[in-house]
Structures are given as structure tokens and as C-alpha cells.
Amino acid sequence: MQPELAIRLRGVVKRYGPITAVDGLDLEVPMGTCVGLLGPNGAGKSTTMRLLTAQSIADDGELEVLGYALPGESKQARARCGVVPQLDNLDTTLTVAQNLLVFTHLYRVPRDERRDAIERALELAKLGDRRDDRVDKLSGGMRRRLLIARALVHRPQLVLLDEPTVGLDPQVRQELWALIDALRSEGTTLLMSTHYIEEAERLADSVLIMSHGTAVAAGPPAELVLEHAGKEALEVYGGPARLAEVEAEAVSAGLRTRRTGTSVSVLGIDGRNGSLFEGERRPANLEDVFVLLTGEEIA
């Protein structure tokens, strides 16, 4: 019997001494969807990812992965999950194919299916012609593709991606997005943590925004934008003094604002014709929601 939820967390708490990294988190990932776990650094995304593979043990709450209760049945769950870590931990002195071979063993791919599994992964990572090259000869983008393909050798039902494109240049990032999108269209269930808003906006069917270890909003990106930031925003530029002025005026007019660093975004101006300030109108986006909900300054 297939559970309907690939991941179900209820009231999960994880403390490290005086620090509460995850603080009563609820999270649901329905089968066949891609959920983005979005939050600033330190929001508890990575701890959440570690909890899902039982590399961290929760202090409180319920965790279920593919219908298995953690941590007790985590090994069964892990056998059916693929994990793409944030930090590259490929075996660098081995070849591309050897790295994949090792993982077919670790993930218990039956002997007569290993060869096919490796070929499939090579094709997915577009590394067929580099199969016999050592990993330390590959570019950063290739290594990332291999890291993703390595997590898929056993055709996992659920793939956990921890910041899959962090620190990569835009070309490589696009390449990886295409790869992740292909998985998604095949019906693989994905949970992806990221602090790149664009990544979540493009790839996730639904996002959960985390702040200080707990969920502050969850839903499809478009709905979250509409709910929290409205349809349109006005981007007003100027010096610091001018920006402070704009903020004060907007607030007194009952509008919400957020800083972008170089401008103030006045949110929810939908339908107002005669505009309050000189500025550029633009559609509201997930970044507006993110900053509204997680705060302008990182704690």
C-alpha cells in the first residue's frame, strides 16, 4: 500500500543545547510532488534534512517518511530515498563509474540490475563520455550532476535535495534545474531545501517557508504571493533618507513595504491607479513574501 504522503512531520522539535534548531515544525510532502523548503540561513532547513535520514534524532514530535516512522524504521525509509547532500562527498580518487558502482551496492541494487542502473545514471548526468575519468578531473557542474545521479541509482521513491545549486554559476544552476525538473515530470517525489527563491519558484509545486525552526507559511508559490504580497508591487528608488520617507508614508497609507537594499518595495498596490510615489510597477513575487515573513535582517 502506498502512503499518500511521502513525508509527514508533526510538531517536530530538535534542540542542540540551548539552541532550538527546529521548533515545532509541521511539514507534508504529498507523493508525486516537489516541495521547496525555503528559509534564510539558520532557519533549520539542514537540520530538517538530517532528521529525515535519522542522522539527527528529534527531541519531540512525529516523523514519517514513506509511511515509516522515524527513527525506528528509518533504515527502511532510507533504502527508498535518495539524498543529494549540500557538501560534495564524492570519492574524488575514484572514477565516475566507480562512484556510481559503490552506490548501487550501498543502496542494494540487485546484481543483475547494477550495470543498467549505472548506465542510466551516467545518461542522466550526461557523463557517459567521462565515465572512466577520476572525479577530481571533473568541473564543479559535472560533480554536482554526478552527485544527483548518484542519489538515483536505486530509483528512489523520494529524493531529498539539500541546497542543490548553492555556490554554482548561473549556467550550471540552469543545467541542474533542467535535471531536477526532468525528475519531477517523471513523478519522483522531491523535497528540496534552498535559500534561492527563484529556485523554489521555478521547481516547487508548493513551498514551505521556514524561519527560526518553524513553518511561517506553506502553499503553492503563486497562492502565497497573492495572499501575502498581493498582485503588484511598486519599486521606489532613492537615497536612504528618501527610502525612509517612502516607508513611513506607505505605512501610514496602510500598505506593507520591504527593503531590497537599493529600493523600497511597496506591496499590495493592486488596483490603486493614481500612484502614491514615483516608481516602477512590477508583479509581486515570492521574494516579497519571503522577506515579509522571515524579516529583513538575518538574526
Name which of 79 and 168 has its Cβ closer to another protein: 79
Name which of 48 and 206 has its Cβ closer to another protein: 48
Contacts for 123 with CB less than 8 Å, ≥ 6 apart: none
Indicate the pairing of strand 5-16 with strand 19-30.
antiparallel
For the sheet with 68-69, list strands across it: 19-30, 5-16, 60-65, 68-69
Q: How far is the CB of 216 from another protein (least distance, A)?
A: 25
Q: How far is the CB of 59 from another protein (least distance, A)?
A: 11
Q: How far is the CB of 295 from another protein (least distance, A)?
A: 27
Name which of 53 and 285 has its Cβ closer to another protein: 53
Segment holding 262, helix H or strand E: none
CA 38 to CA 289: how far, in whole Å? 11
Three cell numbers, residue 234: 511598486
Q: How far is the CB of 285 from another protein (least distance, A)?
A: 33
Name which of 135 and 293 has its Cβ closer to another protein: 135
Q: Residues in the site for another protein, rule: CB under 8 A?
A: 1, 16, 50, 53-57, 67, 75-76, 78-81, 83, 85, 87, 89, 91-94, 98, 101-103, 105-109, 113, 154-155, 157
Name which of 45 and 50 has its Cβ closer to another protein: 50
Beta strands in 116-225 (DSSP E): 158-162, 189-194, 206-211, 214-219
Residue 44 region, left (φ>0) first, then alpha (ψ -120 to 50), else beta?
A: left
Q: How far is the CB of 84 from another protein (least distance, A)?
A: 10
